[in-house]
Amino acid sequence: MTRDEARARIDHLIAEINGHNYRYYQLANPSISDFEFDLLLKELETLEREFPELLSPNSPSQRVGGEITREFETVFHRYPMLSLENTYSESELRDFDARVNRLLQGSYEYVCELKIDGVSISLIYQDGLLVRAITRGDGVRGDDVTTNIRTIRTIPLRLTPGNYPSEFEVRGEIFMPRAGFDQMNRLREEEGEVAFANPRNATAGTLKTQDSQLVARRPLDSFVYYLIGEDVAGESHYERLTMLKSWGFKVSDIKARCAGIDQVLAFIEDVGRDRAQLDFDIDGVVIKVNSIAQQEKLGYTAKSPRWAIAYKFKAEEAMTRLLSIDYQVGRTGAVTPVANLEPVFLAGTTVKRATLHNADVMEALDIRVGDSVFIEKGGEIIPKIKAVDYAQRVAGTPETLFIQNCPECNTPLLRAEGEAAWYCPNELSCPPQIKGRLVHFISRKAMNIDSLGEGKIEVLYENGLVKSLADLYDLTYDKLIGLEKIIQEEDKKEKRISFREKTVSNILSGLEKSKSVVFEKVLFALGIRFVGETVAKKLAFHYRNIENLRKASLTELITVDEIGDKIAGSVVGYFSDPANMSLIERLRNSGLKFEIHEKPGAKGNALAGKSFVVSGVFANYSREGIKETIELNGGKVSSSVSSKTDFLVAGENMGPEKRRKAEDLDVKIISEQEFTQMLG
């Protein structure tokens, strides 16, 4: 076969296979058997191997993935992906309709669509070919995940010839159908892997997976819901959805044009009643003004379109029975009660456990073992007990009393005045506190030692290799090689953790790399109570090194911006403990950084004495970068606008509430360019 003959045959096969994909995935009406389809695909793959120069990234043979993405490029959206205004009430929906009516002063209609509980995506096409797929990100810029999106069979890689513009953008939602998600989880459990919590989390994690071949094996699906572009035809949103379907995109059939808000509410009621019958998760209904011209007239606020709103269903509730209460000890010693429940299906998952928060919550609920309880998923993710059905309580059920001793080390618990939590004070010997501090230390926002993890820390601790943070830097190849443990998961499945040669090499390499982590992250990694990521940065930049911080008195500490009595007291207490000073000395001797090392670039006192609030997205800085620049030049950064704020640095898509407050308080609002000029 000549090259020209191969090209013609490849083009014919691509067109035929794409047609069969469309009939199978979009129309659910295949015209050939799976065997016949596989023969066509195999012929295409054979020709592409023989003539590699004719292989296109948009060929259906590339759906199986295979590319490894080391990191995802961040790119700007041509059209910002704004969020929608949300409501849970009919009255707010009627208020939205009243605003639309007031602004348009004429007739209009709505289009109602399902609000799929997935991950938003922007698909860019040029000359009928998919050229880029971008996640929402912060709305102004997102991650380029084109390689992974190409594996999803309901997203066309190449459109059949049609009446579409040379360039356009399609907005859609990537999700996992429930059946595919359940099957995937069963396979993961059989292979000893941890099951995903819910379809949305699984979808988000999959899209950020670096191996597209793995992505191709995940049951991802899609619906598209919006068409945008300079030369896009269609005078209404509904018409454009019809156009998208005719071009080969998957558009949900569950949608409606509504003449007024009463018809919208009727659609919402129908969907709410029947949503459990859907084979994918939704969390509401999106309502859009249908006319494109009217959409443009209504325009946008800083973060959402004025012509659309999302009605969200309230968190699902279920009733079940409280079987028992466990008490978990965190890395700071805080003891959290956890309810063990009779398994109940709620919002797409089976719930067996729920948090009870603290002793005050337990007392307010007057919850007792054996009670019938109402549970809900806050934000559809975290189960919590909402109420107790006291009418079903068995007479004589004993009152629940919060434990008095640590469930792990039996040390009497303490409760500080004004605090809700009970604490185990045995910091040095209580196993979950030690392991918790180790897990915090290696976490991404701290030392970022990603070659370790909770399971490996468990193995190291049980083998007596790590009892403190500094012990990590005493680990050697000989100490690690051959370690192994079988861990039993909550669902009674077993997971084997083995320290083979590659694992050991990665751990030692990760520990060595962590020695270059900057001081403010090391300070956060120490796990000082109440010293979170932001507080650690403020203290590090104020005191410049660990010695200055160690010597600071309570009175001196509370003069630092946003450092109150509670934080200051915790810091003073930490450094007054000889065991902590010994730990820091060992970490310093291991090579960790305990002082600010100035970064190249602008620094000085150009912003000394000035207080800044930063909001929005910037062209030449990340948000953290601009904050760091302020601090390096002597300025202070606050999270909220107040009368003490000197400047609000405003980027694109900034928070409207911050702008309003700045204007009310006469705080000067400056652009990124004006900020750069201030640096001189």
Residues whose CB is less than 8 angstroms from the CB of residue 209 and which lie 6 or more positions away in sequence, other chains included: 148, 215
Judge contact between 181 and 199, C-beta under 8 A. Answer: yes
Dihedral sign of CA atoms 461, 467, 470, 474 in order: negative
Q: Is there a catalytic annotation at residue 485? A: no
Q: Which long-range contacts (CB under 8 A, 24 or more apart) does 497-505 make?
A: 497/455, 497/456, 497/458, 497/459, 499/456, 499/459, 503/451, 504/477, 504/480, 505/477
Report the candidate in 509, 468, 504 with the shortest Cα–Cα distance to residue 484: 504
Alpha-carbon span 1 to 399, nearest angstrom: 84
- Residue 638 — φ and ψ, nearest 5°? -120, 155
Q: Which pair of tokens denotes residue 408?
A: 């792990």
User: Token digits for 109?
Assistant: 């209609």
User: Who contacts 48 (Cβ-Cβ below 8 Å, separation ≥6)?
Assistant: 10, 54, 55, 59, 61
Residue ranges with strand state E in 263-399? 282-289, 308-312, 317-329, 334-346, 349-355, 372-378, 382-388
CA R_g for the chain: 29
Which amino acid makes up residue 138?
D
Q: How far apart are CA 455 and CA 557, in angstroms?
A: 37
For residue 609, the 8-state DSSP code is T
Distance CA 477, CA 504 (A): 6
Catalytic member of 42, 115, 386, 521 = 115
DSSP 56-81: -TTSGGGGG---B-SSPPEEE-SS--
Distance in angstroms (rounded) separating the CA atoms of residues 143 and 76 = 9
Q: Return d(Cα 112, Cα 270) in angstroms, integer.
A: 12
CA distance 459 to 499: 10
| Contact (CB, 8 A) for 149 and 120 | no
Catalytic residues: 115
